[in-house]
């Protein structure tokens, strides 16, 4: 549950030289642009201070390039998997890895221009400043040898890949996610270190584009997901030829003949895993260093994430934060949302509180994994008397018609009220399905009401209706569209 961060006493602003603004935004990614536009539309004068490449993580090194290459890999896989339909022969597509990478880079450049650079002239009261590293100081922000002043500052500097401390990792030219997405030549084999959403997405993408892939993780894949969902995804990846190694301890990394060797410990014994390249996908860390936060009493957690309250205010009066630099959800749409919450509160426009109770999330593997609300474990921890419903996709007519029954749907509800608390899905069209469940949570629907709702036949989203009905009946005994 959210708790407002207690503000520390702070000194009054000193008289500073430089330009005067109503708001300074540090960071020009999704959160930074969302904040700047919100403030500009309210008639405020905004200084948008660049931090890294304009556009931030999503368009430059995250969502856009990764999903573009995942889609390309999906097209390749579509030809190879066509034989699941009677009368259809599979086909193998030639893959030019360098061509895919180049085309992805072109798309990134186009979207950065269209969705960020070209937007700036439309907001005359937003001044974009890109003069080097910025640092928060008393009364404003120091950048480019000068101080710009404003009564309000928003920190939106994002995050970067986290490289774990493993003996020898500095010497093997380990790639992060962006390093893989810009690699000019396709490697023969890759070891992926980390089984979170980035590792799972990129491991499958690389495998479908012709790389021999080994995915290694300390726990299980997607450790925050429901066990049934993780199991379905793990099996799907293995069927595609990806080696999945879970429950291991990382010991050391070293150069080896033709690549890199990772020494792991399993059951008290060590063994070596080898590949041409090592890709590290073990999470992200906030870009909060060198901003002068400690000097101003702005608190961060152990990973450097800026601590904020439900109003997105930091522990320094007059300073707010949003996006991946905070201790909140690390999704681009939540970064933009958090920035709007922050600016509305900072400018006194509308009192808002950060609310992620009905926040959907998606992992763009195949099957796609998506969820919203509480998992079974989270609901029990929150004190609910929980009931669950689990159906495999072979119970969903759409999956049967598509000859692709990989996946599962799980719903969680409160026994006393029948109100839905959350749900997760692993399905080829899971990303398009989860929003319906998000709406049921947002408006407090019960499992019974969802089960009685009319859904179009032969859709993946109909699986939510079937999963809701499964709380009380065996849907395998129903005829098509019955119930």
pLDDT in tens, 30-61: 999 999 999 999 999 999 999 889 999 999 99
Here the tokens at position 422 are 């959350």
Q: Using one digit for the tens of pLDDT, what is the confidence trace for 154-183?
A: 999 999 999 999 999 999 999 999 999 999
Beta carbons within 8 Å of 92's beta carbon, 6+ residues apart: 79, 80
pLDDT at 243: 98
Cis peptide bond prior to 367, omega within 30° of 0: yes
The pLDDT of residue 51 is: 80
| Paired strand residues for 313 | 320
> Could you tell me which of 51, 304, 63 has the C-alpha nearest to residue 154?
51
215-244 confidence digits (pLDDT tens): 999 999 999 999 999 999 999 999 999 999
User: CATH number of the domain at 361-473, out of 3.30.390.30, 3.40.50.1360, 3.20.20.70, 3.30.465.10?
Assistant: 3.30.390.30
Mean pLDDT of 73-92: 96
CA 234 from centroid of its chain's CA atoms: 19
Can you tell me the mean pLDDT for 325-336? 97
Which CATH superfamily hosts domain 23-55+116-160+285-346?
FAD/NAD(P)-binding domain (3.50.50.60)
pLDDT(375) > 60: yes
Sequence length of the chain is: 483
Region of 225 (left: φ > 0; alpha: ψ -120 to 50; beta: rest) is: beta
pLDDT for the residue numbered 333: 96
List for the chain the helix, strand, coil content (%; round to 5): 35, 25, 40
Whether 23-55+116-160+285-346 and 169-282 share one fold: the answer is: yes
Neighbours of 77 (CB within 10 A): 18
Binding positions for FAD are 67, 157-159, 324
Contact 450, 440 (CB under 8 A): yes
pLDDT at 345 over 50: yes
For the annotated binding site for NAD(+), the residues are: 194-201, 283
What CATH class has 169-282? alpha beta
* Residue 10 banded pLDDT, cuts 50, 70, 90: very low
- Judged against a pLDDT cut of 60, whether residue 96 lies above it is answered with yes
Q: What is the pLDDT of residues 98-130, one digit of tens each?
A: 999 999 999 999 999 999 999 999 999 999 999
Please give the model's pTM, rounded to 2 decimal places. Answer: 0.93
By the 8 A CB rule, do 398 and 463 touch? yes
Q: Known binding site: residues? A: 67, 157-159, 194-201, 283, 324
- Kindly tell me the burial class for residue 87, based on how many C-beta atoms sit within 10 Å of its own C-beta (0-12, 13-18, 19 or more): exposed
**Is residue 8 pLDDT above 70, yes or no?**
no
Tell me what pLDDT residue 141 has: 97
Region 274-295: mean pLDDT is: 97
482 by DSSP, 3-state: which? coil
What residue has token string 């400043």? Answer: 129
Question: Which CA distances in Å does 209 have to 5, 122, 147?
Answer: 47, 40, 49
CB atoms within 10 A of CB 177: 23
Tell me the two tokens of residue 319. 């300073």
Whether pLDDT at 392 is above 80: yes
> Domain boundaries in the chain?
23-55+116-160+285-346, 169-282, 361-473
Helix (H, G, I), strand (E, B) or coil at 181: helix
């Amino acid at each position: 549950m959210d708790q407002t961060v207690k503000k520390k006493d702070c000194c009054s602003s000193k008289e500073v030289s430089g330009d005067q603004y109503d708001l300074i935004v540090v960071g020009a990614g999704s959160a930074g642009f969302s904040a700047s536009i919100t403030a500009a539309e309210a008639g405020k004068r905004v200084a948008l201070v660049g931090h890294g490449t304009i556009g931030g993580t999503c368009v430059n090194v995250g969502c856009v390039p990764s999903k573009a290459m995942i889609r390309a890999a999906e097209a390749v896989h579509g030809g190879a998997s066509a034989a699941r339909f009677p009368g259809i022969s599979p086909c193998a597509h030639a893959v030019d890895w360098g061509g895919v990478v180049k085309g992805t880079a072109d798309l990134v450049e186009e979207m950065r221009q269209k969705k960020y650079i070209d937007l700036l002239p439309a907001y005359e009261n937003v001044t974009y400043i890109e003069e080097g590293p910025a640092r928060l100081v008393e009364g404003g922000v120091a950048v480019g040898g000068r101080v710009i002043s404003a009564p309000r500052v928003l920190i939106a500097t994002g995050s970067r890949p986290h490289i774990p401390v493993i003996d020898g990792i500095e010497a093997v030219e380990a790639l992060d996610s962006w390093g893989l997405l810009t690699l000019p030549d396709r490697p023969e084999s890759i070891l992926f270190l980390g089984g979170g959403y980035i590792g799972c997405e990129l491991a499958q993408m690389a495998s479908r584009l012709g790389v021999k892939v080994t995915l290694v993780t300390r726990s299980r894949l997607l450790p925050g997901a429901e066990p049934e969902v993780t199991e379905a995804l793990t099996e799907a990846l293995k069927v595609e030829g990806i080696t999945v190694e879970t429950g291991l301890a990382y010991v050391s990394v070293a150069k080896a003949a033709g690549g890199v060797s990772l020494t792991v410990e399993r059951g008290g014994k060590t063994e070596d895993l080898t590949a041409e390249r090592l890709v590290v996908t073990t999470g992200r860390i906030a870009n909060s260093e060198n901003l002068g936060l400690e000097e101003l009493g702005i608190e961060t957690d152990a990973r450097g994430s800026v601590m904020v309250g439900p109003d997105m205010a930091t522990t320094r009066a007059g300073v707010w934060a949003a996006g991946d630099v905070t201790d909140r959800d690390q999704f681009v749409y939540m970064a933009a949302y958090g920035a709007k919450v922050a600016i509305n509160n900072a400018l006194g426009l509308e009192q808002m509180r950060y609310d992620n109770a009905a926040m959907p999330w998606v992992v763009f593997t195949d099957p796609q994994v998506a969820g919203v609300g509480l998992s079974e474990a989270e609901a029990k921890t929150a004190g609910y008397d929980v009931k669950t419903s689990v159906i495999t996709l072979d119970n969903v007519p759409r999956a049967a018609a598509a000859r692709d029954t990989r996946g599962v749907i799980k719903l969680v509800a409160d026994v006393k009220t029948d109100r839905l608390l959350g749900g997760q899905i692993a399905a080829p069209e899971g990303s398009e399905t989860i929003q319906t469940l998000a709406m049921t949570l947002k408006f407090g629907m019960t499992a019974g009401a969802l089960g009685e709702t009319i859904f179009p036949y032969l859709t993946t989203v109909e699986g939510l209706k079937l999963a809701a009905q499964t709380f009380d009946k065996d849907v395998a005994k129903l005829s098509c569209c019955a119930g």
